[in-house]
Amino acid sequence: MRDLLTWSIPVGRLFGITVRLHVLLYLPFLVMMVGRGFAKGYGWEALQIQALLFLAVLLHELGHCFAARQMDGDANEIVMWPLGGLAYVDVPHTPRANFVTVLWGPLVNLTLCAGVGVALVTAGGLLPPLDPFWNPVVLVGNPPHVRTDALYSIAEGRWITELGFFTTLVARFFYIHWLLFLFNVFLVGFPLDGGRMLQAILWVYLGFRRATQIVIYCGYAVAAVLAAYCFITMEGDDVPAKLILFSLAFFIVASCYHQSKLLEAGFLGDETLGGYDFSEGYTSLERSESASSRRRQPNFIQRWLQRRAERRRQREEERRLAEEKRLDDLLAKVQRHGKNALTPEELRFLERVSARYRSNRNRS
């Protein structure tokens, strides 16, 4: 069976990056959330919030992609799915490159929060909704009337419940970006940004392998707290939101477990040789070689990891060959028409690939 994340369709290209929508997971989730909204009487508001969420996640992932390019890396694909987005980036295997690439995702959300928050304060005299439990959709009255939780008015010194359409839209825009920032930074674990940033920081002092192990353990702890919170507080209309949180907890556990297996099998790009840890010295390598004859056959998970690593190596080889062919074509174009004939995207590609080849030559 193919990897679940490959069950997606392209919906467009932005800045040379293909944006894909996960058909199997995202569309049913979208239909469920919007359909529930129409059934409860806030269908258009549910559709608006889903559109704002899609935009916020897309901008977040584009922040990762642009940062990867600034770090002499590359980014070519974003997959959108219910629990957020996944940006496929290729950056140098250094703590700084990884930290900067990860940082720019939540930084985009925080920057937009700052701009929109200033607009709410200056234009509307309202404090932005900083409370993570603020509710962007509230049903009151019979028949139900849709509004948001109250915002505090600085000018009037009281809480305002009835907001205009534009103010409500801006408040929801702020809240969604603020919530994305909080979730990604303060929930430490794979694959969230907080876990990746902690990994890059610890990498400097403890090495890649140990840093990854610590983030894996932190992810398990965060997921356990999230799951417990969902079970304890789940009631009434909060059930869908708590189920999403519980799904996020499960996803963190699955991602951390996947990272641990990749690390154990030597498929992550750490500073070991061929995935072997030399921290115990060469004598431990001799012990491992003497025990290799007694090694058991790989189990199902190990075989799956091996197949995944092989597919990754094949994709990297195909990409390398495609880059070499395009590089030759661009060099021929420069020779015929000069460097000014290249487009900005072609110039970025030429500089990025040339820098990568120079780096490889220096290491060799």
Residue written as token pair 């608006």: 48
Q: What is the pLDDT of residue 55?
A: 92
Looking at residue 60, its pLDDT comes to 94
pLDDT (0 to 100) of residue 305:
62
Look up residue 349 and give its two tokens. 């590609």
Print burial letters for 257-287: b (CB count within 10 Å at least 16), e (below 16).
Answer: ebbbbbbebbbbebebeebebeeeeeeeeee
pLDDT band at 283 (very low <50, low <70, confident <90, very high): very low
What is the dihedral angle through the alpha carbons of 98, 103, 106, 108, rounded to the nearest 10 degrees? -110
pLDDT range class, residue 276, cuts 50, 70, 90: very low
Answer whether residue 5 shows pLDDT above 80: no
Measured distance CA(168)–CA(121) in Å, rounded: 13
Of 239 and 196, more confident: 196
Q: Is the pLDDT of residue 76 over 70?
A: yes
Write out pLDDT tens, residues 304-319: 566 666 777 777 787 7
The tens digit of pLDDT for each residue in 29-60 reads 778 888 888 887 888 888 899 899 999 999 99
For the chain, which residues make up each domain, given as ranges? 187-270, 307-363
Compute the Cα dihedral for 215, 219, 220, 225 and give only its sign: positive
In sequence order, what are the beta bridge partners of 10? 20
- This prediction's pTM: 0.72
Give the start-end residues of each E strand in the chain.
Answer: 8-14, 17-22, 74-81, 84-90, 138-140, 145-147, 151-153, 158-160
Q: What does the pLDDT read at residue 110? A: 96
How confident is the model at residue 282, as a pLDDT? 30
Q: How far is CA 243 from CA 235, 240, 334, in A?
A: 11, 5, 56
Comparing 82-91, 92-101, 164-173, 210-219, the range with the smallest average pLDDT is 82-91
Residue whose entry in the numeric block shows the structure tokens 């304890």: 232
- In contact, 255 and 189? CB cutoff 8 Å: yes
In 18-94, alpha helices (H): 26-40, 43-70
pLDDT at 174 over 90: yes
**143: phi then psi, degrees, rounded to nearest 5:** -65, 155
pLDDT at 362 over 80: no
Lowest-confidence region among 112-126, 264-278, 282-296: 282-296
Instruction: Give the largest Cα separation in the chain, rounded.
Output: 79
Mean pLDDT calculated for residue range 107-136? 92
Q: Residue 64's pLDDT is what?
A: 93
